[in-house]
């Protein structure tokens, strides 16, 4: 095996090694409080994947993480950091709820219109930092963070007129805008909230993989992310590409809101994102900005989210948060460490 191939294999294994290292560190914490780490982990993952209901809950929690992770990964491919997935997802969910509840459309057109509204709202919110980056060079990290707060305040202000009396939610959407639950087709998932938004997320992942690696636009996005001056020398407009990347990333994050709004509760409610937009950063990091890797990482974090509820009777709830933080920490440090090891072996 050549040194280059060995380096590639080591780097490719970094997400797996990061998860294993985090689980090992978590096991030490579990043992320190007097519990059996193997029993706790077995219970956690058996509940997350071992039953139809548990699998459905895991998939439900993983769905917005897929959208959030794909959004971050797409922007990162163009050399940008989209920290605004939370605000984009919030506005996407609100737009889908408003169309589903108020738009005077026939039933057959209502669901597509709600989905398009979610993507458009998220895309518009992502376009703002993209255009500021392209026109003025303003840093997208600061802008997207600030836009998260603006989105939350904007929704709160609109809520004075939109939300039902004495609640923080909108009117229920019409039946034509509802995304069906997968339990309608798969009896094992019948009682779980996982819905057709998961299928949309998988389709988006496949579409982004094709876009990034099979189209000219994808080549331009990756070229700008890898070497912006070189891409510009080759005739690629850096500003246009970055603005487009942030717009597309925002649209993907905006669609993440339909999991709750159109597929679960059938109305918009403040706080429904539950930090999924921010967790998308960890998902993209662990998935190495690959659409397939994002799906796998989202399933892992979804399993931790649901399995953690089950083991909460035996270990503190904060343990799951510790595990998530450790995965992120090791994922950040594993790749450069393995690259250094590979260079020493060369």
Q: Which of 207, 183, 166, 206 is nearest to 263 (CA)?
A: 183
Q: How many CB atoms lie within 10 A of CB 328?
A: 18
**Residue 166: per-residue pLDDT:** 66
Q: Is the pLDDT of residue 12 over 80?
A: no
Q: What is the DSSP letter of 80?
A: -
Q: Which of 78, 98, 63 is nearest to 247 (CA)?
A: 78
Give the Cα separation of 224 and 323 in Å (integer).
34
pLDDT digits (tens, 9 = 90+) for 27-40: 998 999 899 999 99
Contact status, residue 201 vs residue 63, Cβ threshold 8 Å: yes
Q: Which of 282, 274, 248 is nearest to 129 (CA)?
A: 248
Q: What is the DSSP letter of 266?
A: S
Give the Cα separation of 157 and 111 in Å (integer).
26
Rg (CA), the chain: 21
Mean pLDDT over all residues of the chain? 92
- The b-or-e profile of 36-50 (16+ CB within 10 A means b, else e) is ebeebbebbbebbee
Contact status, residue 308 vs residue 263, Cβ threshold 8 Å: no
pLDDT digits (tens, 9 = 90+) for 118-173: 999 999 999 999 999 999 999 999 999 999 999 999 998 888 778 876 678 999 99
Q: Tokens in use for 217?
A: 């636009």
Contact status, residue 96 vs residue 114, Cβ threshold 8 Å: yes
Contact status, residue 133 vs residue 197, Cβ threshold 8 Å: no
**Confidence band for 6, pLDDT divided at 50, 70 and 90:** low
Which of 167-176, 195-204, 278-287 has maximum average pLDDT? Answer: 195-204
Q: Is the pLDDT of residue 271 over 80?
A: yes
Give the Cα separation of 262 and 323 in Å (integer).
31
User: For the chain, which residues make up each domain, given as ranges?
Assistant: 69-298
In 202-245, where do the E strands start and end? none
Spacing of C-alpha 298 from chain mean position: 7
Q: Tokens in use for 187?
A: 């009896």
Q: What is the DSSP letter of 35?
A: -
**Residue 330: per-residue pLDDT:** 86
């Amino acid at each position: 095996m050549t040194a280059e191939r060995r380096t590639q294999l080591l780097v490719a294994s970094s997400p797996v090694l990061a998860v294993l290292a985090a689980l090992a560190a978590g096991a030490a914490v579990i043992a320190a409080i007097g519990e059996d780490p193997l029993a706790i982990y077995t219970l956690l993952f058996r509940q997350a994947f071992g039953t139809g209901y548990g699998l459905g809950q895991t998939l439900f929690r993983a769905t917005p993480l897929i959208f959030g992770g794909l959004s971050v990964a797409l922007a990162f491919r163009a050399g940008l950091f989209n920290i605004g997935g939370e605000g984009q997802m919030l506005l996407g969910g609100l737009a889908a709820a408003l169309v589903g509840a108020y738009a005077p459309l026939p039933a057959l057109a209502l669901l597509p219109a709600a989905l398009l509204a979610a993507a458009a709202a998220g895309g518009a919110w992502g376009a703002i930092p993209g255009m500021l980056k392209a026109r003025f060079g303003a840093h997208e990290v600061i802008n997207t963070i600030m836009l998260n707060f603006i989105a939350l305040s904007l929704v709160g202000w609109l809520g004075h007129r939109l939300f039902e009396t004495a609640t923080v939610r909108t009117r229920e959407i019409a039946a034509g805008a509802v995304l069906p639950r997968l339990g309608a087709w798969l009896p094992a998932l019948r009682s779980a909230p996982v819905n057709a938004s998961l299928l949309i997320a998988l389709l988006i992942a496949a579409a982004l993989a094709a876009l990034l690696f099979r189209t000219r636009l994808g080549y331009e996005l990756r070229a700008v992310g890898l070497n912006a001056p070189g891409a510009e020398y080759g005739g690629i407009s850096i500003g246009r590409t970055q603005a487009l990347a942030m717009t597309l990333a925002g649209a993907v994050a905006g669609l993440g809101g339909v999991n709750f709004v159109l597929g679960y509760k059938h109305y918009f409610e403040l706080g429904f994102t539950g930090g999924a937009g921010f967790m998308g950063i960890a998902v993209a990091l662990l998935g190495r900005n690959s659409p397939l890797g994002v799906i796998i990482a989202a399933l892992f974090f979804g399993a931790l989210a649901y399995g953690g509820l089950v083991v909460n009777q035996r270990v503190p709830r904060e343990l799951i948060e510790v595990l998530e933080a450790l995965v992120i920490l090791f994922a950040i440090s594993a790749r450069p460490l393995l690259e250094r090891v590979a260079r020493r072996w060369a």
